[in-house]
């Protein structure tokens, strides 16, 4: 009979935990979509100072509802070179505080609101097509599912009050002996390492407390273990990453171990006394203990952040291996936990791809004008690199589009797909010019000084248009984008004028027919570079214009 009852309890507990985790995920995605581009201001203060970094970590974790996810994202940011190890300390500590918001939320008995929240969210979701409103529906649905999961876990725990082995184990956790404290910490660590969420472990403890099975004395050492266990996610995520990213994961583990040891040996009684002063509700006491541990640990360790960095550098010395250094772009799947940060970083990489395409174009023109075959050879190497970047960027764009993005972000993703294609085509036109330079060299074709000056003039204008277009991507400035459209019109006028002048030279016999064909091909490629620059810029204008289809 006991085995049957235990099986039923475990099924209900696992089912409730599943709903709890799913609800937390849905609510987090809804919050993240609602935050949208407001995440920009959060990201921009990453480098300000340690205090601001802590605040950033708290806010980001409150939005995505997972300190493990935030820490994994930090590992990705360090791996991508966006953030250094020192900056990561404050973010990690802030994430640890931010995750306690979930515990505070679930410790309040809001189960009665769960069905209403789900019903309201579903009604909103079914009756509106506005993406901005739908994301609020997601928050309501996630909120309701989370509390339904908590209610199921609470109900599942109640029969355990009559199961002596279990109640005896929980009583041992609070005995205060070294062996029992170690057992409790180990239990919290293992459960969290398996579930991959300290919020879920805390939720289980709150459910046990609500069922009258767990008091703060027994729960506190388990909480300490759960805080260490949450580091496992980041440690696993750092496998295969660069050494700097591994150090960020080890930094998180170091912070938690120092805190756990300090509290277990010195601050346990003080913390429990503070918790008892704050509330006499066992569920609320566990939430407060979780919060106090992370807040006090941050206050103690934050001033010693430089020493923590030195310590981690000491236990993980050396530089990245050649294999670790040989990565393509500053893109990392771990950053996808926050689509805005991922999208913002991807935009910078697209600009970098554009800068390389612009360099390839200018190099091709220099090689063509000056018969510099070394420069021409560089263009073909640039083209290989541009194609590789295109492949990686498009793959990453697909990954972002499959994550929790808002309607505005999805529009931005669609725009960036077009931008990447235009930049790749600019690289192709640079390669075309390089091939024409090889042809020119092979057949010893001669161009007049006038023809060379004409090519330099129109290519300079196209290069200027391209530079401004790339800048418009970076700063999303409509005025810059409109400048490109004006410059492209000038390129079209120049191209027609140069064709007429060249035809006149052919008629006068001052230009070789074979050289003339090459000349016309070059200005045609230059004009198309201008078209692609305009296409890039038009994405950042408010006017609805038809893009020019260029190849």
Q: What is the pLDDT of residue 384?
A: 92
pLDDT per position as a tens digit, 325-378: 444 466 767 677 677 777 877 888 888 899 999 999 999 999 999 999 999 999
Task: Specify whether the CB–CB gap between 243 and 318 falls below 8 A.
Answer: yes
Question: What DSSP letter does each residue of 460-486 carry, written as one string?
Answer: HHHHHHHHHHHHHHHH--HHHHHHHHH
Tokens of 454: 């004409």
**Distance in angstroms (rounded) separating the CA atoms of residues 100 and 292:** 9
**Distance in angstroms (rounded) separating the CA atoms of residues 202 and 109:** 15
For domain 338-538, give the CATH number.
Answer: 1.20.58.220
Task: Specify whether the CB–CB gap between 275 and 288 falls below 8 A.
Answer: yes
Q: What is the pLDDT along the chain (551 residues), one digit of tens a residue?
A: 444 466 777 788 788 878 877 877 777 777 666 665 555 555 555 555 777 788 878 877 777 666 767 777 777 777 766 677 787 888 888 888 888 888 888 788 777 788 888 899 899 888 888 777 887 888 888 888 888 887 888 787 777 766 677 777 777 787 778 888 888 899 989 988 888 778 888 888 888 888 888 889 888 999 999 989 888 888 887 776 677 778 888 988 999 999 999 998 888 889 999 999 998 888 899 999 999 999 999 999 988 988 998 999 888 876 655 444 444 466 767 677 677 777 877 888 888 899 999 999 999 999 999 999 999 999 999 999 999 999 989 998 888 888 767 677 778 888 889 899 999 999 999 999 999 999 988 888 888 888 888 899 999 999 999 988 888 877 776 777 778 888 888 888 888 888 888 777 776 766 677 777 888 899 999 999 999 998 888 776 654 443 444 44
**Distance in angstroms (rounded) separating the CA atoms of residues 206 and 229:** 18
The helix/strand/coil state of 329 is coil
User: CA–CA distance from 437 to each of 386, 430, 520 (Å)?
Assistant: 20, 11, 13
**Distance in angstroms (rounded) separating the CA atoms of residues 485 and 535:** 9
User: CA–CA distance from 259 to each of 50, 71, 89 (Å)?
Assistant: 18, 17, 14
Q: CB under 8 Å to 1, separation ≥6 — which residues? A: none
Q: What is the pLDDT of residue 142?
A: 86
**Distance in angstroms (rounded) separating the CA atoms of residues 357 and 496:** 25
**Distance in angstroms (rounded) separating the CA atoms of residues 356 and 377:** 15
Q: What is the pLDDT of residue 551?
A: 42
Q: What is the pLDDT of residue 1?
A: 42
Q: What is the pLDDT of residue 380?
A: 94
Q: What is the pLDDT of residue 541?
A: 62
Length of the chain: 551
Q: Radius of gyration (Cα) for the chain, nearest Å?
A: 30
pLDDT per position as a tens digit, 117-168: 889 989 988 888 877 788 788 888 888 888 888 788 878 777 776 667 777 7
Q: What is the pLDDT of residue 256?
A: 92
| For the chain, domain boundaries | 2-322, 338-538
Q: Whole-model pTM? A: 0.66
Tokens of 168: 């005896």
Q: What is the pLDDT of residue 261?
A: 92
Scanning 371-477, the segments in alpha helix (DSSP H) are 373-401, 407-442, 449-475
Q: What is the DSSP letter of 162?
A: G
Question: What DSSP letter does each residue of 516-545 carry, written as one string?
Answer: HHHHHHHHHHHHHHHHHHHHHHHTTSSS--
């Amino acid at each position: 009979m006991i085995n049957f009852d235990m099986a039923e309890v475990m099924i209900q507990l696992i089912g409730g935990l599943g709903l709890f985790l799913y609800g937390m995920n849905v609510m987090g995605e809804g919050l993240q979509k609602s935050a949208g581009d407001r995440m920009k201001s959060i990201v921009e203060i990453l480098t300000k100072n340690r205090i601001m970094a802590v605040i950033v970590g708290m806010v980001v974790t409150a939005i995505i509802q997972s300190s493990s996810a935030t820490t994994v994202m930090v590992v990705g940011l360090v791996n991508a070179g966006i953030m250094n190890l020192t900056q990561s300390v404050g973010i990690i500590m802030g994430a640890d505080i931010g995750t306690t918001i979930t515990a505070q939320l679930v410790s309040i008995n809001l189960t009665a609101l769960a069905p209403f929240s789900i019903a309201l969210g579903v009604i909103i979701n079914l009756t509106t097509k506005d993406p901005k409103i739908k994301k609020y529906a997601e928050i309501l649905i996630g909120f309701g599912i989370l509390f339904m999961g908590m209610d199921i876990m609470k109900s599942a725990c109640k029969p355990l009050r009559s199961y002596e082995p279990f109640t005896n184990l929980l009583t041992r956790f609070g005995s205060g002996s070294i062996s029992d404290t170690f057992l409790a910490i180990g239990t919290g660590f293992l459960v969290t390492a398996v579930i991959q969420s300290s919020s879920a472990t805390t939720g289980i403890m709150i459910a046990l407390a609500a069922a009258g099975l767990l008091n703060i004395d027994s729960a506190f050492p388990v909480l300490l273990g759960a805080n260490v266990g949450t580091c496992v996610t980041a440690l696993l995520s750092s496998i295969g990453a660069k050494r700097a990213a591994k150090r960020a994961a080890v930094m998180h583990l170091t912070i938690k171990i120092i805190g756990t040891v300090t509290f277990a040996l010195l601050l346990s009684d003080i913390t429990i006394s503070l918790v008892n002063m704050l509330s006499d509700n066992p569920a609320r006491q566990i939430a407060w203990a979780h919060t106090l541990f992370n807040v006090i640990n941050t206050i103690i360790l934050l001033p010693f952040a430089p020493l923590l960095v030195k310590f981690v550098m000491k236990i993980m010395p050396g530089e990245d291996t050649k294999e670790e250094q040989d990565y393509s772009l500053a893109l990392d799947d771990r950053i996808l936990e926050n689509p805005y940060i991922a999208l913002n970083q991807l935009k910078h990489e697209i600009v970098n791809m554009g800068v390389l395409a612009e360099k390839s174009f200018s190099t091709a023109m220099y090689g063509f004008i000056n018969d510099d075959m070394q420069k021409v050879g560089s263009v073909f190497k640039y083209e290989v690199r541009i194609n590789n970047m295109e492949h990686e960027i498009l793959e990453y764009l697909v990954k972002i589009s499959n994550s929790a993005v808002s309607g505005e972000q999805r529009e931005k993703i669609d725009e960036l797909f077009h931008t990447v294609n235009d930049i790749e085509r600019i690289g192709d036109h640079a390669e075309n010019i390089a091939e024409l330079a090889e042809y020119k060299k092979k057949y010893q074709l001669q161009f007049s000084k006038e023809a060379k000056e004409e090519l330099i003039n129109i290519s300079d204008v196209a290069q200027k248009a391209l530079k401004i277009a790339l800048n418009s991507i970076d700063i999303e400035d409509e005025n810059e984008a409109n400048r490109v459209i004006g410059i492209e019109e000038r390129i079209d006028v120049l191209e027609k004028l140069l064709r007429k002048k060249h035809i006149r030279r052919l008629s006068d016999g001052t230009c070789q027919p074979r050289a003339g064909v090459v000349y016309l091909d070059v200005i045609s490629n230059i004009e198309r570079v201008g078209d692609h620059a305009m296409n890039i810029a038009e994405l950042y204008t408010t006017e609805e214009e038809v893009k020019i289809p260029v190849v």
